[in-house]
Structures are given as C-alpha cells and as structure tokens.
C-alpha cells in the first residue's frame, strides 16, 4: 500500500495573524495589558510622575498602578527615582524605539543629509514621518545656537500645524486628506494656526506647487519651520525634512534661501533611499 502523505499538502503556511484579526472586541484584547500600556504611554508624555499623581490622573487605584509600574520596571521600561520618589521612562523603551527605526534605511541615510543641511543653514534639521494621522519626529540634528527648536525623536505633532505635516499632506490623495481632516478637529495652537478647512487646503495646494511647506508660528509663537517632502521609489511622500528656528533668525526674507536648501536636502535624501526626488 502506498502512502498518501504529502508534506506539501499538509504543511501549514506560517501566519502572522489569526483569521479573525479584524475582530477588536473585548474577547480579543487583554485588559490588563491594555491598562499597563495606558500607564506607560501616559508616563512617556510627561516624565517624573509620582505614584499618587499617576493613580489620580488615570483614575486607577494606587495599588493597581504600582503593580503595573513594578512589572514594567522588571522589563526596564520604567525606572524609579529614589531621590525624587517619581517614575520615569526606562532605557529599554529607547532600545525598543530604536528597533522601530531599523525597519527602513531612512533614518540612517538621512543623518549625513541632515547634518549638511544644519551646517548650511545654521538651524536645527528635523526628519519626520506620518504615523496614525500625526507627524512622528524620528531624527534631529541640532544647531549650536543658544535659541533653537527642539523636537526630540518620538515627539508627535498635529499634521495641520507642522511644516513636515503639511509637506506630507500636500502629496496625499484628496480622499486621504479628507479622512485625515475628518478624523479630528483642527486644533488651534496660536493665532496663526490654520483651523479653517478651506484655508488649509489652499495652503496645501500652494505647498505642492512650490515644493515646500511653511509653518509660520502655527504651532509655537516665535518659531518658523520650512519643510520639504522625501519621495520613495514609487514617488510617494514617505517623510519630510525641515529646518526650524526662531523667527528672529528665520525672517520672511530668509524663506527663499532656506527653502532652496531644504528642497535640495529632500531631493538628496529621496535619491539616497532609491527615489527620484519627484512625486507621483
């Protein structure tokens, strides 16, 4: 008798997720893990918090918060400051975050481009990507000037009030822009923030036409940012590169020369990651 066993037919194909992965009901979530991640996320937004403060702000019992913190501490994700009796994000959080950046060569390829941009302009150079409808800053090369912009890696910013955000949005489809603008209200940060949808769309059209975006004190008074998109091999804007600094140095008369440097940096980085430097 011959065997009908066929390894090719019986071997299971590796799966990265179960068939019901779209089901986000309570039965497919771990409440205790979700609660722990809420504590971790909240602590990351403003470090140096006491146990009592965390418990009150998160509306949880101190005992619950303490168990979560001790568990996270065991993994190196949070640390306890004995002197101040407060909790901070731990070094392992940085290690894990750094692994995220290794998913693409973008950050590594961007460093020399950003350093050159900073040296040419004398202002801080930034690199950001779109992450869940926000700008996630993934790298920065700081100027040595006393007054400077500071967006450390991991900082999140609203796209409509960010030079990089607007540089990215300008190259999205109309349908994608509509989804982004419909998801959350256009929050006002300063008197210059574009909170009117029509005005923002007009600004995005102008941004695409000229090849760079301007954040003119729209997020922080006294600060200006000039940003250009970075395109991948498919001509899609996958990142934004910018310079930012105080309006005392980045006056309106500086926009033209600075924008040339930023656009050139965006083109150089696009080429470095295999793109053409032009949108689709």
Which CATH number does 104-272 carry?
A: 3.30.450.40
**pLDDT tens-digit readout, 116-137:** 999 999 999 999 999 989 999 9
Residues 6+ apart with CB under 8 A from 101: 107, 138, 139, 153
Cα–chain center distance at 56 = 28
pLDDT score for 268: 96
**pLDDT tens-digit readout, 237-276:** 999 999 999 999 999 999 999 999 999 999 999 999 888 7
Q: How far is CA 267 from CA 86, 163, 194, 236, in A?
A: 45, 17, 27, 13
DSSP 4-19: ---HHHHSPPP-SS-T
**pLDDT tens-digit readout, 197-207:** 999 999 999 99
- Distance, CA of 137 to CA of 125 (rounded, Å): 11
**pTM score > 0.85 for this model?**
no
Domain with CATH 1.10.10.10 in the chain: 26-95
**pLDDT tens-digit readout, 143-187:** 887 776 777 788 889 999 999 999 999 999 999 999 999 988 999
**pLDDT tens-digit readout, 7-28:** 555 556 556 555 555 555 556 6
- Count how many residues are written for the chain: 280
pLDDT score for 171: 96
Domain with CATH 3.30.450.40 in the chain: 104-272
Question: Domain 26-95 belongs to what topology?
Answer: Arc Repressor Mutant, subunit A (1.10.10)
């Amino acid at each position: 008798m011959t065997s009908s066993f066929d390894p090719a037919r019986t071997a299971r194909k590796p799966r990265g997720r179960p068939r019901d992965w779209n089901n986000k009901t309570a039965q497919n979530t771990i409440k205790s893990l979700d609660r722990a991640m809420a504590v971790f996320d909240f602590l990351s937004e403003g470090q140096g918090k006491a146990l009592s403060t965390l418990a009150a702000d998160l509306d949880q019992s101190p005992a619950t918060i303490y168990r979560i913190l001790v568990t996270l501490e065991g993994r190196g994700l949070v640390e306890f400051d004995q002197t101040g009796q407060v909790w901070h994000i731990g070094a392992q959080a940085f290690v894990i975050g750094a692994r995220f950046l290794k998913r693409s060569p973008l950050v590594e390829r961007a460093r020399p481009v950003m350093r050159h941009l900073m040296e040419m302009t004398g202002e801080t150079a930034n690199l950001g990507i779109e992450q869940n409808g926000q700008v996630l800053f993934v790298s920065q090369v700081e100027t040595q000037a006393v007054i400077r912009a500071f967006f450390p890696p991991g900082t999140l910013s609203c796209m409509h009030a960010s030079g990089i955000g607007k540089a990215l949005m300008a190259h999205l489809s109309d349908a994608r822009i509509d989804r982004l603008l419909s998801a959350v209200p256009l929050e006002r940060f300063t008197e210059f923030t574009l909170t009117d949808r029509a005005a923002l769309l007009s600004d995005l059209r102008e941004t695409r036409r000229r090849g760079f975006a301007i954040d003119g004190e729209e997020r922080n008074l006294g600060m200006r940012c000039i940003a250009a998109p970075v395109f991948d091999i498919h001509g899609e804007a996958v990142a934004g590169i910018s310079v930012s600094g105080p309006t005392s140095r980045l006056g309106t008369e500086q926009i033209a020369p600075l924008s040339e440097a930023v656009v050139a940096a965006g083109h150089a980085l696009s080429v470095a990651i295999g793109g053409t430097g032009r949108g689709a």
